[in-house]
């Protein structure tokens, strides 16, 4: 240690900027080198192994049935599934937080069931619901039983639909995905609502706002900051799970169509690679959307959405 | 103070418990129209709870509370009390403004939007009118230049003044303040107290829970000392502060003065 300089300077002149030798990180450089070699090997393999069949892949991954499966299956199911999942999820979350034990119990049961049963099982189950009844009707509940009780016969149904026309494979697939999604969303929304300071609804109550107004104008917009990041994960998970609807069975769907091309031409591998590329592209689009949503709902918060640590991944470990 | 009209707030034997803890043990108080009542007392004595009972954020267990002649939270027919519907409770709350220790501004709205929100949603005031009035209110609390600012970018004193403007936007006939300056840095206390003082001079009926004895002496018409869920002493602030009748009041005042 050197002695501090005792000769006082003439006035507090600005000290020279620090020019220190930075700490070396040889370990980092070694790992960078290793990664670079591995990456080079990977690219080399992609380019030289003709089993990849790049030209074949590009020719076939945009075929009309594939595009139809993408638009009318994968994308439509994801969009509708999320719309229904989020709306129903908000309802179930609000029910869950209700002081009425019947409402909150029902909501608990609902999330319990739809989170416990795997999506693939739900899809198969919904695909086979037509077995239960030939037709579905809308009318007075228990009409036949009531009629029996009074020894008369009457029909309390206003509307009857054939099971086969109501429960098309698409509807079955959508129901399976959307209902399970709503159970996950309910938990996410509930966590979001509970993250809002109770002082917020108190202040709104004191202003004379109604329960619905408080929820819509004060609590949910603030809960959104907590809700959106895991919802992004949910959307991505749902997008990928649309590949499961083949089990309903529903064949108008991206992965099924790509695989079908591969099986027909005995060139499955390039089509599997093209499936990876398709899902990568779709997920990237979703991530851009999520970025803008987070910015929108980060209003009034000092920390920007980008620098916030992303710890909200609970409920999407699939 | 108009002596002809009935009291703004009347409280008769108000009791309130949380589980087994009895927080209010029979509060009898009257606040006249235009009166500024200051409420002091040690922590946990039930001041906040009493304030929250007045606008029915808490349900009272026994006793009666009237604001402006209306029973708070209930309708009485004969001997029977009927709970009011949510909508009716909300309507009662519109008459009562409340300012919180921790401001509780809506963080996703600008200062102006905070003030406009309740008039637009609750009173269905046309947006243009509400905006104009909100601007004027913010101007009157000295924040005419902070209209577009979000609460996170305001100082504590500024946030609390926005909160006061937000409560005033509903044109209440009674204002409740729960330690409005306790969360503020000392140099910001004055700006909030000034706004409250002006409000008092304009004739607003106010109940103020505070530890600012100076404010109580200067602005208050009456001073109430609460301890252990009961009113220990009530009187003209100057007299209570200078010559407290009860030992408990004396020892409390000696600590805060
Ligand atoms: N929601 C609640 N549930 C249970 N206990 C509560 C609740 N609110 C208040 N209490 C209790 O009631 C008592 C009185 O609280 P209150 O907030 O009215 O006191 P205070 O006089 O305002 O005190 P302070 O000066 O600290 O604000 C305290 O013991 C508190 O712990
Ligand atoms: Mg308090």
Q: What is the CATH number of the domain that holds A191?
A: 1.10.3720.10
Residue A272 lies in a domain: yes
Question: pLDDT tens digit string along B167-207?
Answer: 999 999 999 999 999 999 999 999 999 999 999 999 999 99
Residue A91 lies in a domain: yes
| A-chain residues near B117 (CB < 8 A) | 207, 209, 217
Q: Which atom, in ligand 1's list, is nearest to the CA of B45?
A: 21
Choosing from B22, B38, B43, B44 the residue with most ligand 1 atoms within 8 A of its CB, the one to mutate for a pocket test is B44
Residue A27 lies in a domain: no
Look up the domain containing A218 and give its range: 55-130+169-299
Least CB–CB distance from A209: residue in B100, B121, B153: B121
User: Which residues of A make CB contacts under 8 Å with B?
Assistant: 197, 199-200, 202-211, 213, 217-218, 221-222, 297, 299-302
Looking at residue A8, its pLDDT comes to 53
Residue A63 lies in a domain: yes
B110 versus A300: the higher-pLDDT residue is B110
Mean pLDDT score of chain A: 86
Question: pLDDT tens digit string along A87-118?
Answer: 999 999 999 999 999 999 999 999 999 999 99
Neighbours of A233 (CB within 10 A): 21
Does residue B4 surpass a pLDDT of 80? Answer: no
Does residue A209 surpass a pLDDT of 50? Answer: yes
**Least trusted range by pLDDT, from A78-82, A211-215, B4-8, B163-167:** B4-8
Q: Is B229 in the pocket of ligand 1 (CB under 6 A)?
A: no
Residue A142 lies in a domain: no
Band the pLDDT of B58: cuts 50, 70, 90.
Answer: very high
Strand B80-83 vs strand B74-77: parallel, antiparallel, or unpaired?
Answer: antiparallel
Residue A221 lies in a domain: yes
Looking at residue A7, its pLDDT comes to 52
Would you state the structure tokens that stand for residue B71, as one six-digit string?
């029973």
Average pLDDT estimate for A247-262? 92
The count of domains in chain A is: 1
Residue A82 lies in a domain: yes
A168 versus B174: the higher-pLDDT residue is B174
Does residue A132 surpass a pLDDT of 80? Answer: no
Question: pLDDT tens digit string along A3-53?
Answer: 555 555 556 788 888 888 888 889 999 999 999 999 999 999 888 888 888
Band the pLDDT of B17: cuts 50, 70, 90.
Answer: very high
Helix/strand/coil (H, E, C) string of chain A? CCCCCCCCCCCCCCCCCCCCCCCCCHHHHHHHHHHHHHHHHHHHHHHHCHHHCHHHHHHHCCCHHHHHHHHHHHHHHHHHHHHHHHHHHHHHHHHHCCCCHHHHHHHHHHHHHHHHCCHHHHHHHHHCHHHCCCEEEEECCCHHHHHHHCCCCCCCEEEEEEHHHHCCHHHHHHHHHHHHHHHHHHHHHHHHHHCCCHHHHHHHHHCCCCHHHHHHHHHHHHHHHHHHHHHHHHHHHHHHHHHHHHHCCCCCCHHHHHHHHHHHHCCHHHHHHHHHHHHHHHHHHHHHHHHHHHHHHCCCCCCCCCCCCCCCCCCCCC
| B-chain residues near A210 (CB < 8 A) | 86-87, 90, 122
Q: Is B210 in the pocket of ligand 1 (CB under 6 A)?
A: no
Its pTM stands at 0.82
Least CB–CB distance from A206: residue in B93, B109, B110: B93
Residue B251 touches chain A, beta carbons under 8 Å: no
Ligand 1 geometric centre to CA of A143 (Å): 55
Neighbours of B225 (CB within 10 A): 26
Looking at residue B179, its pLDDT comes to 95
Question: Which residue from A minimizes the CA distance to B116?
Answer: A207
Residue A6 lies in a domain: no
Looking at residue B256, its pLDDT comes to 84
Tell me how far CA of residue B80 lies from CA of B83, B90, B202, in angstroms.
Answer: 10, 22, 39
Q: Is B18 in the pocket of ligand 1 (CB under 6 A)?
A: yes
Q: Is B59 in the pocket of ligand 1 (CB under 6 A)?
A: no
Q: Is B49 in the pocket of ligand 1 (CB under 6 A)?
A: yes
Looking at residue A5, its pLDDT comes to 52
Does residue A122 surpass a pLDDT of 90? Answer: yes
Predicted complex ipTM exceeds 0.90: yes
Counting ligands in written order, which one lies closest to the CA of residue B100?
Answer: 2
d(CA B194, CA B214): 12
Does residue B3 surpass a pLDDT of 80? Answer: no
Neighbours of A180 (CB within 10 A): 24
């Amino acid at each position: 240690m050197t002695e501090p300089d005792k000769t006082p300077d003439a006035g507090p002149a600005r000290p020279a900027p620090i020019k220190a030798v930075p700490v070396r990180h040889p370990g980092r450089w070694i790992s960078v080198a290793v990664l670079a070699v591995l990456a080079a090997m990977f690219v080399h393999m992609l380019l030289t192994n003709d089993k990849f069949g790049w030209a074949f892949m590009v020719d076939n991954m945009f075929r009309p049935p594939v595009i139809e499966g993408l638009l009318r299956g994968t994308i439509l199911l994801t969009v509708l599934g999320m719309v229904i999942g989020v709306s129903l999820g908000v309802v179930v979350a609000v029910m869950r937080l209700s002081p009425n034990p019947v409402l909150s119990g029902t909501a608990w049961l609902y999330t319990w069931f739809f989170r416990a049963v795997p999506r693939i099982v739900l899809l198969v189950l919904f695909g086979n619901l037509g077995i239960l009844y030939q037709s579905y009707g809308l009318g007075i509940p228990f009409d036949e039983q009531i009629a029996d009780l009074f020894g008369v016969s009457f029909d309390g149904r206003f509307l009857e639909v054939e099971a086969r026309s109501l429960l098309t494979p698409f509807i079955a697939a959508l129901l399976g995905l959307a209902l399970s999604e709503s159970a996950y969303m309910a938990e996410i929304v509930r966590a979001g609502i509970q993250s809002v300071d109770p002082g917020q609804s108190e202040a709104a109550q004191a202003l004379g706002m109604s329960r619905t107004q408080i929820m819509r104008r004060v609590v949910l917009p603030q809960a959104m900051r907590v809700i959106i990041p895991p919802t992004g994960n949910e959307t991505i998970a749902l997008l990928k799970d649309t590949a499961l609807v083949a089990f309903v069975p529903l064949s108008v769907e991206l992965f099924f169509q790509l695989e079908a091309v591969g099986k027909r031409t005995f060139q499955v591998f390039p089509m599997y690679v093209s499936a990876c590329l398709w899902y990568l592209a779709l997920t990237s689009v979703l991530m851009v959307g999520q970025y803008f949503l987070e910015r929108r709902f980060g209003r009034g918060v000092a920390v920007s959405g980008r620098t916030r640590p992303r710890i909200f991944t609970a409920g999407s470990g699939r | 103070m108009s002596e002809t009209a009935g009291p703004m707030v009347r409280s008769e034997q108000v009791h309130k418990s949380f589980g087994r803890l009895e927080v209010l043990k029979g509060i009898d108080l009257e606040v006249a129209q235009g009166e500024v009542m200051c409420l002091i007392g040690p922590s946990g004595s039930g001041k906040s709870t009493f304030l929250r009972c007045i606008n029915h954020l808490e349900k009272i267990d026994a006793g009666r509370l009237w604001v402006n002649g209306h029973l708070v939270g209930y309708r009485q027919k004969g001997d029977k009390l009927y709970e009011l519907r949510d909508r009716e409770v909300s309507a009662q709350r519109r008459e009562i403004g409340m300012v919180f220790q921790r401001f509780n501004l809506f963080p996703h709205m600008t200062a102006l939007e905070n003030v406009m929100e309740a008039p637009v949603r609750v009173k269905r005031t046309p947006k243009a009118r509400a905006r104009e009035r909100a601007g004027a209110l913010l101007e009157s609390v000295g924040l005419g230049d902070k209209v577009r600012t979000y609460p996170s970018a305001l100082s504590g004193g500024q946030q609390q003044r926005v909160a006061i403007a937000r409560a005033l936007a509903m044109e209440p006939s009674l204002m409740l303040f729960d330690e409005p300056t306790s969360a503020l840095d000392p140099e910001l206390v004055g700006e909030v107290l000034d706004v409250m003082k002006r409000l008092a001079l304009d004739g607003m009926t106010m109940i103020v829970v505070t530890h600012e004895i100076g404010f109580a002496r200067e602005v208050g018409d009456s001073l109430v000392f609460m301890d252990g869920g009961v009113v220990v002493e009530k009187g003209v602030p100057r007299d209570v502060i200078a010559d407290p009748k009860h030992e408990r009041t004396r020892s409390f005042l000696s600590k805060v003065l």
